[in-house]
Each structure stands twice: as structure tokens, then as C-alpha cells.
Amino acid sequence: MGKNLLFPPGPGADPLHIVYEEDGLKRESSAPCQLNCPAGIDIPSYIALIGRGEYDKAIAIIRNDNPFPWVCGLICPNPCEQWCQRRYLDKALCIKDLKGLAARMVMEKGTGYLIPEPKERYSEKVAVIGSGPAGLTAAYFLAWQGYRVTVFEAMPEPGGLMIAGIPEFRLPRDFVRREIQAIRDMGVEIVVNTPIGDEVSLDELRNQGYKAFFLGIGAWEGLRLGIEGENDYPQVISALEFLKDVSFGKKIKPANSVAIVGGGNAAIDAARTCVRLGSQSVSIVYRRTRSEMPAHFEEIIQMAEEGIHVHQLTIPSKILGSYGKIDFLECLMATLGEPDESGRRRPTAVSGSEYKMPVGAVIGAIGQKPAIRRYPGFGYLDLTRRETIRVRSHNQQTNVPDVFAGGDAVTGPATVVEAIGGGKRAAFAIHAFLRDLKMPEIVPPRPRTMIPPIVLDYHKKSFIQRQEIPLIDLDRRMHSFDRVELGLDEIAGREEAKRCMRCDICERCGKCVEVCRDRLGVSAIRFFHSGESSLILKDYVHGLPKCIGCGSCVNICPTGALQLEDRDGERVLLMSGTVINRIKLETCEGCGAQYVTKVMVRHVEKLIEAPEEAFEQKLCQDCKRISKAFKMVGETPDFSVQRIQ
């Protein structure tokens, strides 16, 4: 066990319950947010640091696992928040926006990111193909390890979807560029306008001395709608192509009236872009209902606010037009049947329900795949049925030993944070490959540090509401590409950080409940089941009225989350830094020590049915001995001189 733990287990706890590494941190994270973060970021620690106003340190913690705190702070779909235990008390924390706040504080008000020094200097060169989040993340971690990294990008600017996909009103380009610059500052070379796989093959790069490759080429090829008329009109466009064009300056509205087919983020991004380009009528056409839409909840809300109509349970069947221009999108109504392999209920067209939707353009946004077939240079890679690159799970290695891959090219259309996770895993696998080390195994994320919690009282903690994220004015939203979500300001952010339950400390094992209820028979501390396998201390709301302050829970707590402190006449019980109870202490009449809680004395009095006078004089155990000794020889106790002779 590591020494000098910030949260030492209670002395009566099973010392093997939690495994600590040499550095004094847990071998495995116990925080659901971190465990469910695709990049494995130590979320509780950086939130705690934000709460203390230590933004630089917060960013350093994040950038241990993710070089794009700012990007993620704006557009991450935050799977962490779905696992946030605070949601069982009221609402999850705004984890995404806290991250965004930290990045903004460091980038705009502080001195910018700290550029890490390489841990070693190796001679091997590594080529990264594609400069999206996966490729740049791989480059970042490889450079940090000490490799010379060149990133090849086909487009005129690096960033992949972050530059050429996600609209500016969600992700201002300046933020992306500054985070990419921080990667360049580590010595990573980025070569743009240089597609690999076509004219320049991997073998050529091998000949130039590159010893390993990371493919992060994304999934840019839109899936076809597969309906009549799709190929007949230039106004039928794919969402990613559309968004890319707009990103690179071609800000032309497709039509006054646009239908976007699909329910994912790309669909909504395209729809909202159309609104901003001046389209009068923008509709989403989706086969299922709003609640099945894979796009972020906030995006769906914001889309509605911006006047975009969703045609639910609607299946496009035909594109109709005249003179080379679209007039209508013909659709069928649908009902939902049995769930399909994705777990969502399968839509079934209702025959005879056709109707025509007058539109001037149709944007297909039903999915993308890697454009791998366009690059014969990659032809020898194994692909999946969905035409994504097949890799070994967890180390991202393809069937070609020196080629690794990650991001949408492997997962199909997914999130930035998943791409970051893949790029990171690949970087460490490439390091192992080049150094001839054992390939990394599946390891759950570890805490990066342990930050003291912000101490506050239970009622205060439980009554802090989740912060609302302010948006810019709706009118401005509809006429400009200005960033919509303004994020948290510093005051709100630090308040929000206080809401964190610090699941990195308490593992919710319930030993405290067991001892208090089953062994002691007091039942003062209670956890409630929340979700499938999680417990949560509900007593944050009303304290522990039945607690006698004996400390058995603290004594048995294997994580050290529960702590006792005697101060200012009170025994304070803390749960992960939150004061969950305060009990008045008795003062020893002999030495003045505050040695036991008043309720404990009453509790024991009742148990032993002692005569009242037995506890009349309040003495700590040492002074009881002194008092008895004096009384045994008929003297009046003198407590003062005992210790200074």
C-alpha cells in the first residue's frame, strides 16, 4: 500500500479492499464518470481543481489523457454526465462545461497550455495519416513519449471534423487552431494537402524511414439514401460535404426550403447551418421518433428553438423535381416495430401513406463510412462489414503489424472523445511496438492524482443547483455563426464544481451502512440503491440525525472517504470532504480534552442501565484512571501534576 495516502483507510478496514499503487493512488479509478469517459480523464480531480481555482493544474490533469480540453469542453457528448452519481440526488454536473471553463481560463486569461517535455528522445519516425482528433491525439502522445511524428493531411488545414465538419456556432475555429498549435509546439510536423494512400503509398513512407503508422482518416463518405431521384439532382448533397464546404468558406444556402434526412449530429448540424445560411424552411426527416434521435439532447432542443421542424416517423421514398431542380421529397409514414440490432425499435413504412414535402434541396445525413476504397494504397488492410478498418481491440493494431488505426475510420461515425481515446491507445501501442515491449493490456483508467475535496456542509452541498448554460440571443443565433453556448463563467463554474460527489474517494461499498445498521444497531448512515449497481448516500439532504458519533463507520471505511475530526467542541463527520454530521462533544473535567460525543454517553448510559450519578463527572479514559486511583486511597484527584513531574 502506498504511504501517506490523502485518504487513509480506517484502521479497522480490510487493508486489501482497495489496491494502491506505489504512487499512493488507487490502481483503478472508482469514479463512474472517469470509468465511462472514452478518453479516461480523471474527471473528479480536475473538477476539484477547478473548484479551487487551479485551472492550470486542472488542464494538466485533463491533458494527461486528452490534448483537446477546449474542443471537448464545447462539443463532447459527455457520456460521463450520464454516469454522474449526482444525478441520483438531483441532476448531473455540467462536466463538459467545466472542462471548457478550465480551457478558456488557461487559454484566454492564463498563459496557455504547458507544453510537455518529451519523456525520452527516440530516433524512430512515426507517420500519422489524417489530422482529425484521432490522428492528432496519437501524434501528441507519441511526441510526448519522444518520437518524431509527421502528420499528413489531405485537406488544406489540419483538424479533420473539428475544422471541416462541426459548425462554427458549436465549435469556434480559433479554439481548435490553438489546441492544434499546442501539439505543433511539441515538435509534431503537420503536412497539409498531402493525401496518403493514393499517389503516396505507405511503402513509400516506409522507404523514407517511418517505422510505424497511424491511420486516422475518418469516415467522410456519406451513405447513400438509396431512393429514386437521388442521383438526378445536384441539390441532393451529403451532410459532411455540405458542412465541409461551409467550413472552408462556401457559405451558400442549398435552397430556401431544405429537408435533411437523418437524426444524428451531422443531420442537426446541417439543418442548423441551413438556418444560418438563410433557408426559410428547414426540416429534419427521421424514421423514428425524436426520442430515438442519436444527436445530443441539447442540440435537439436548440434546433427546435431555431425553428427546425422534425418530421418524425417519416421515411423518404422518392425525390421529385423538374428542370434539374428538386420540387418535392416524397415520404411515407412509419410505425415502430420490434427493436433491431441497435436496440432501437425498427420503423416500418405504412403503405399508402405517401405524401409530398415541397423542398429545394435534400441533405443526406444517414451515416458515413471511411473512404478507404478510394485509396488503393491501403488496400491490404482488413475491413469490417461496415467497411471500417478492423483493429485488435485495445491496441488499435491492424492486420499489418506496423499499421495502427483509430477514430471514425475504425468506429464509423462516432464522437471526438472516442477518437481521442483511440488515438491515445494507439500511441501507447505504437510505443510498445517500436520498443519491443509487451502490448498494453485492457486497463481501466487510473486516478491521475488525488485532490483534497472542497469542504462544505451537507445541506449546502445538496442545495447547489446545476448551473444553467447561457445561450446567445435566438435572433443572433439564426443569423450568424456565432457560438451558441456561452459556457460557464468562473463564479458559476466554481459553484458547479462544489456539487461533485467525489466518487474517486468513496467507492460506495456500503461497509459503513453495514456496520452502523447490522453491527451497531443504530442505522444512522444510509445509502440507497441508485441505478443497477450503485449506491448513493442520500443523507446529504438531511444529515444523520440518528448518528451517535462513535466513528465505527470511519473505522471500517476502506477508502478513507469517511473521516472524523474533533474541533471547536464538535465531532465532525466528513464524507469525501462533505460534512455530513456535527455532534457536540463532551469536555473532560480532568484534562479538558474533548473526548466523546454527548449522545454517545447517553447511548451507553441506556445500554448499561447505569445509575445516573455514574456519568455525572465527565472524564476521559486517562483521567478516569487517575480519578479512580486517587479515590482508591481516599484522595481527591489532582489531574494537573500527573504529567509534569
Partner 1 sequence: MSEYYIYQDQKRCIGCRACEVHCKTKNDVPVGASFCKIIPVGPKVQDGIPRIKFIFMPCFHCETPWCVSACPTGAMQRRTEDGIVSVDKSLCIGCKACITACPWGSPQWNKETGRVFKCDYCKDRIDEGLEPACVTGCTTAALKWVSPSESSSLKREKFAKKITQGAPTS
Partner 2 sequence: MSETSKKVVYSVCSMCTVRCPIEIEVENGAVKHIWGNPHVLGGRFLCPRGAAGKVFENDSERLQGPMIRSGERGSGEWRKATWDEALDYVAERLKKVIETYGPESVILGDRGGAFTDLQKAFIKALGSPNYFNHHGSCSNSVHNAHNGLTGQRRNTVSYDWKNCKYAVLYGRNILESIGTKEAKDFIDALENGMKFTYFDIRWNYTAAKADRFHIIKPGSDYAVNLGIIHTLISEKLYDAEFVNRWVVGFDELAKFISPYTPEWAEKESGVPAREIVAIAHEMAEVKPAVILYAGWMTAWTEDDYYFRRSIYMIYALLGGYEAKGGLLFNKNEVDAGYKPLKKFVDLVPKVDKKRFDGVGWKYKHLSADYGLAQMVPHAVLNEDPYPVKAFINYRFDPLSAFPDPEKFKEGLRKLDLLVTIDVNYSHTGWVSDVILPEATYLERTDSVIVKSGPKPSLWMRRKAVEPKFDAKPKWWILKQLADRLGIGQYFPYNSVEDIIAFQLQDMGLKLEDFNSKGTVSLAKDQIMWDRKDGLKFKTPSKKIEFVSSMLEENGIPSFPPYESSKEPPDGFFRLTTGKTAVHTQGTTLNNPYLNEIQPENSLWINTAEADKMGIKSGDTVEISADGVAQTIKAYVTDFIHPTAVYTLHGYGREIPLQSRAFKKGMRDNTLMKGLLTVAVGGNCPITDCFVKIRKLS
User: Which amino acid, one-letter code, is at 472?
Assistant: I
Under rule CB under 8 A, residue 561 binds partner 1: no
Q: Which listed residue (160, 167, 321, 551) binds partner 1 by CB under 8 A? A: 551
Under rule CB under 8 A, residue 645 binds partner 2: yes
Size of the site for partner 1 (CB under 8 A): 43
Given a contact cutoff of 8 angstroms between Cβ atoms, the answer to whether 484 and 302 are in contact is yes
Cell numbers found for residue 114: 504547458
Under rule CB under 8 A, residue 640 binds partner 1: no
Under rule CB under 8 A, residue 558 binds partner 1: no
With CB under 5 to 8 Å by kind, the binding choice for 601 among partner 2, partner 1, none is partner 1
**Which of 196/623 has CB closer to partner 2?**
623
Q: Which listed residue (119, 519, 529, 567) binds partner 1 by CB under 8 A? A: 519
With CB under 5 to 8 Å by kind, the binding choice for 644 among partner 2, partner 1, none is partner 2
Size of the site for partner 2 (CB under 8 A): 4
Phi (first) and psi of residue 130, to 5 degrees: 100, 130
**Which of 183/626 has CB closer to partner 1?**
626
Contact string (CB under 8 A) for partner 2, positions 612-641, x = contact: ----------------------------xx
Of 95, 100, 98, 103, nearest to 33 (Cα)?
95
Of 172, 603, 206, 540, nearest to 400 (Cα)?
206
Given a contact cutoff of 8 angstroms between Cβ atoms, the answer to whether 131 and 165 are in contact is no
Q: Which listed residue (12, 125, 188, 326) binds partner 1 by CB under 8 A? A: 12
With CB under 5 to 8 Å by kind, the binding choice for 561 among partner 1, partner 2, none is none
With CB under 5 to 8 Å by kind, the binding choice for 640 among partner 1, partner 2, none is partner 2
Of 578-597, binders to partner 1 (CB under 8 A) are 596
Instruction: Return d(Cα 197, Cα 409) in angstroms, integer.
Output: 14
With CB under 5 to 8 Å by kind, the binding choice for 300 among partner 2, partner 1, none is none
> Do the strands 148-152 and 368-369 form a parallel or antiparallel pair, or are they unpaired?
unpaired
**Which of 243/623 has CB closer to partner 2?**
623
With CB under 5 to 8 Å by kind, the binding choice for 521 among partner 2, partner 1, none is partner 1
Q: Which listed residue (391, 515, 561, 580) binds partner 1 by CB under 8 A? A: 515
Give the gyration radius of the chain's Cα atoms: 31
Q: Which residue do the cell numbers 427546435 mark?
A: 304
Q: Which listed residue (54, 469, 589, 630) binds partner 1 by CB under 8 A? A: 630
Instruction: Return d(Cα 479, Cα 273) in angstroms, integer.
Output: 10
**Which of 106/544 has CB closer to partner 1?**
544
Instruction: Return d(Cα 220, Cα 370) in angstroms, integer.
Output: 6
**Which of 632/644 has CB closer to partner 2?**
644
CB of 644 to partner 2, least distance (A): 5
Of 126-134, 243-251, 315-323, 544-552, the segment contacting partner 1 by CB under 8 A is: 544-552
Instruction: Return d(Cα 469, Cα 487) in angstroms, integer.
Output: 6
127, β-bridge pairs: 150, 213
Instruction: Return d(Cα 635, Cα 630) in angstroms, integer.
Output: 5
Q: Which residue do the cell numbers 464544481 mark?
A: 497
Task: Give me the helices (H) in 250-315, please.
Answer: 265-277, 297-305
> What are the b/e assignments for 370-409, b being 16+ CB within 10 Å?
bbbeebebbeebebeeeebbebeeebbbbeeebbbbbbbb
Q: Which residue do the cell numbers 499499421 mark?
A: 403
Residue 270 CB-half CA count within 13 A: 33
Under rule CB under 8 A, residue 644 binds partner 2: yes
The footprint of partner 1 (CB under 8 A) covers 10-13, 515, 519-521, 550-552, 555-556, 596, 600-601, 603-604, 607-611, 613-614, 619-626, 628-635, 642, 645
The footprint of partner 2 (CB under 8 A) covers 640-641, 644-645
